[in-house]
Amino acid sequence: MLLHDTIAAIATPLGEGGLAVLRLSGADALAVADKCFVPVGKSSVKPSAADTHTIHYGHIERAGRVLDEVLVAVMRAPRTFTREHVVEISCHGGLLVAKTILDLLLENGARLAEPGEFTKRAFLNGRIDLAQAEAVADLIHARTELALSAANEQLAGKLSQRIEQLRDDLVKTLAHIEAHIDFPDEDIAPDTKDQLLKRLARAVEFMDTLLRTANEGQILRRGVRAAIIGRPNAGKSSLLNQLLGHDRAIVSATPGTTRDTIEETANIRGLPVVFIDTAGLRDAGDEIEAEGIRRSRESLAKAELILHVLDGSEPLTPSDELLLREFADKKRILVRNKSDQAGQLKIPDEFGVMPVAVSCVTGAGLETLKDAIKECLWSGEIRAEMLQVMINARHQEALKRARESVLRTLDALRTGLTLELPAMELRIAANAVGEIVGKTSTEDLLDSIFSQFCIGK
């Protein structure tokens, strides 16, 4: 990627809509826009003559022919997202008009942006750090208000501030140790050594606190896969429809209606839960149903939560007992459906699980079930301050490496080993922590992160 060239992309989703937005960023963004934009009206001017953060009305023209009527926003460096000159063109929504304007921008000197390149430039130009850059993607992909809040907190730099403080503490301790390596005749005084040990112990404690947020952070970012299982006609599809709030799965009294897995995401008490309606687990009646059951078992292997639906109007069957035993080691919730009918279901004490009673006809018990799902995934209250430091999988891996190095540093200092060893371990720890905010990063790491973005962001 070259930072001195000018990039362009469609920043809105492709397809028909009221508006589409195209984005230009780079040293020649104003010049490229000048070649395409014809101002209309007394107050409208060419982008190169426009004041920063102003909007101008006019036409996009190619060889004197009007392509579209547009508004052009001009933002001059460094007060932009990328800290480069940025021009944004708002045209009529539609795949053809947006693509035609993009082609014209490319003809006039711009280059098509790579996935995530606008955000990557914001990072490389010092506008945001790497953790904040990842928060941009989290913001775009957020599926619940809690996920949105967590992304905004990270984008605001709340996590970065804590990471920077941790790294500063490690670097200061490293500098202190290296000073004694440079002057070997001066031993570390006992009280000074005690202070260093306490500082490092606090760093480990702080990393432990952050690491405990990893599971919750993963839940908010990518959701939890919850498979709905049970024998045919227990009410699996009806339960999915109730949890989603609309009819997504076909409901029929005929057993085996669901022939394939159906996946939909629902907001359960602020948590994104991907519900998977599976084919009834039984001996298949035909090849199509057999394939559906095979796919259901694949989904079950990946699921992090099981909702086992039982027919509360009938006694427990051998098929029910088989499923109860098969998934005993999985995190699960038993759902006794048809609570509006006379109850005949009794679950033996050996299974040690109390079912949640619901009726997919009346909706009774659905709120209790949602509470049970939330408590099963996230115990305790979801507090606002928790959202400020939700780490992701990359942060978790870096912190684990840093923690192990700090623990080895503590052992080396306590046992009186040569100072070169704790100094080496502290460098490893500081570099690992620095990776989180991009203080120490490789091109491969950056490519891996930004390749997950859409083009135009």
Same domain for 17 and 66, yes or no, is yes
* Percentage of the chain modeled with pLDDT above 90: 47
State the total domains in the chain.
Answer: 3
Co-location of 229 and 309 in the same domain: yes
Which of 40-49, 309-318, 383-392, 411-420 has the lowest average pLDDT? 383-392
**What is the average pLDDT value for the chain, to the nearest integer?**
86
What is the extent of the structural domain holding 410? Answer: 132-213+390-438
Q: Are residues 138 and 111 in the same domain?
A: no
Within a domain: residue 448? no
The answer on 335 and 269 residing in a single domain is yes
For residue range 329-380, list pLDDT tens digits in order: 888 899 999 888 877 788 877 777 788 999 988 889 999 999 999 988 887 6
443 in any annotated domain = no
Q: Is the pLDDT of residue 253 over 60?
A: no
403-to-389, 399, 407, 429 alpha-carbon distances in Å:
17, 6, 6, 7
- Residue 399 placed within a domain: yes
Is residue 449, in this structure, part of any structural domain at all? Answer: no
Whole-model pTM: value is: 0.77
In a domain, 44, yes or no: yes
Q: How far is CA 455 from CA 13, 23, 74, 118, 119, in A?
A: 10, 10, 21, 9, 10
Same domain, 226 and 363: yes
Q: What is the CATH number for 196?
A: 1.20.120.430
384 lies in some domain: no
Average pLDDT, integer, range 220-244: 86
| CATH assignment at residue 267 | 3.40.50.300
Residue 105 sits in a domain whose CATH number is 3.30.1360.120
Is position 296 within any domain? yes
Same domain as 116, residue 136? no
15 vs 248, residue with greater confidence:
15
The model's confidence at residue 185, banded by pLDDT at 50, 70 and 90, is low
